[in-house]
Structure 1
Amino acid sequence: MILASILLPVFLAAPDTSITRPASAPASRPVVAISGRELDRLVADLNSPRFAVRERATGELCDLDAAFLPQLAQRYHAAAGEEARHRLRYAMETVFYREELAGRSGFIGIRLSQQAMTDVIDPANGRKCHGIYIIDTIKDMPAAHAGMQSGDTIISLNDQPVPADPTSQKFISVIERTPPGSTVRIRVLRPEKRIRKLTVHPAKDEASPTLGLKLSSPPAGLVTGGIRVVEVAKDSAAEAAGIKVNDVISAANGVSVATPFDGMTVLTNALESAGPAAGVQLAVQSCKDVSMEIVVGRRSPEYVTNPRDRQEIQGRFARWWRQQGGQWQPSPEAPQRVVPVIPPEANPLQQERSADIR
């Protein structure tokens, strides 16, 4: 399947879901040149009564060399039928996008936090490292096919630590510049589904009871489902209870750890109320080290999500389109043929602005 929306969703307030999304992120495909007669045949196929024929023709138009952009614009103005014009517009924007962002179209289909986690521990060597938290994976995209899951934390890319950057931008740049069709090796920390119920009996001293834990501080606004343990003091109550580095504490005394701030409050309250006998009841998930290989796909227009790329592409395409006699309409009406395949709320472009899609 070729299209998610006919016009670039990066230009729209509400993305159009009237045309089906691709079944997978396309790998590297050849940019082709064809004869004028073949181009006319593809444009004619955009009006075919068969949906599969229209999809195939649109895909072939999207693969054209950028030199065909003026000819596509001419066919757009001469086209009969609203859906044919929408598909031609999509093809033009796809070709234009590929030309403008040549060299940084690598895409694996993950929605990740813009801020990196800076206090993750690599279980392979026990050293502190940066981590990229995965908010979600996009169905049928390369990362999902390779087994990556929401809640994973990326700690290694191509056998190297995640770039030491307070944001995820350096990691994003590596993925963008990886040629589609290439394979990347990624290691993640993944909380196990099994939740252990542990009772920790904190040591009592003159100041306050302690568990002997050092906990992570995820980026502001990022909800990770728990608090990660980054250090366990030797001979502490936590060590005696079996808590280990990279474990995730999801609840204390039956109270869920919803956010990093709330989690610290919950633990503080649990410690203050803990009696010598009762102790603190913790819900703990271990993290396992998972390796995977991902075949990089090609980022298509509906996944231009970061503001820099949106502004660049929108401005340049708008200027070019006006030069071709087109009218710039950032919110055009959807094609008449409506084939919704995902609800609007599931569209990754409608998720919170704290995430980026790669």
Structure 2
Amino acid sequence: MAALGLVRAIGLMSGTSLDGVDIALLETDGERIAAFGPTGYRPYTEAERALLRQALAAGATLTARDQRPGVLAEAEGFVTAVHAEAVETFLRDTGIARSDVAVVGFHGQTVLHRPEQRLTVQLGDGAALAKRLEMTVVHDFRAADVAAGGQGAPLVPVFHQALARTLQKPHPIAVLNVGGVANVTWVDGGDPVACDTGPGNALIDDFMRARTGAPLDRDGDQAARGRVDEDFVARVLAHKFFGQPCPKSLDRNAFAFANIGLPDFSVADGAATLSALTAAAVARVVAQLPQPPKGWIVCGGGARNPTLMRMLAERLRPATVETAHAIGWATDSIEAQAFAYLAVRTLNGLPITFPKTTGAPQPMTGGVVAAP
């Protein structure tokens, strides 16, 4: 297959925060970013989130990546259908013709990530999505890397690098994505260095849902009122994961409450302490990077949390900390943009994971191409 030049690609992302489907259009050849297109979002209803939470619980029992017992089959059908709906709505609302889009990058919904067992499971039927949309779809981005002994995550560093290389800012730069799990990409000219840093929003969101019924600590309001239990933070950070060198990755539920002995916090103190844990885990990774970053750019849901941003700034001094939005990036759509970029790289046979981002044995292509 001849390499594509500049094309338009759609990227889709449903993250571990279980908030909805992000969608974005990008013009790229898989190396340079020529233009950013429109973005969109399809939120999940509470009933849909409940289905995905059931799938996450069921996913913990899987021993093979193609197993779909019980609720997992239902959830996979839903994930595929809702992503198709998101694309159809996006194309209708933007007036973009399907024929003007070369490829759709479809990450799916992660329900299990255990790279130490060479096992990662993302729900979503790429072939069915391609057939319904009558568009080429690239999916299953993580499997090849994990099968080769890599972590399979994070996948976005090569896109973070493409974004960061154009910034007129002192390097090295760290791009921090705070979704359900937080991950960092260190950029300074050569191949990126990356890893998951620890829990992102997942523990805060789960705590708020369990204690108040709210899906998150909106704007960090509860955390701003609470007192941080630094002893608890230090105890969690003693886990072996935080001392491991990059690259490393994490399952969303690796630090579930049952695993970390969460005290009976008040709502405010729990939100404050779990937010501080996210920030402290990010600060802990600095020593594992080739050099301390001079600046941090924060994207993902955590960038909308002023309390978390303040905690990050305090723990990452003297480096600067700013949101992706502040420098003109689409904070909420970066991961969707990344999967558009990765889909084009896949079609062009370019690597998407690297020894210093996932621990892969060599730069690796990835993704499975499904024709319409």
Give the alignment's TM-score, normalised by structure 2: 0.28
Q: Which has the larger radius of gyration?
A: 1
Which protein has the bigger helix share?
Answer: 2
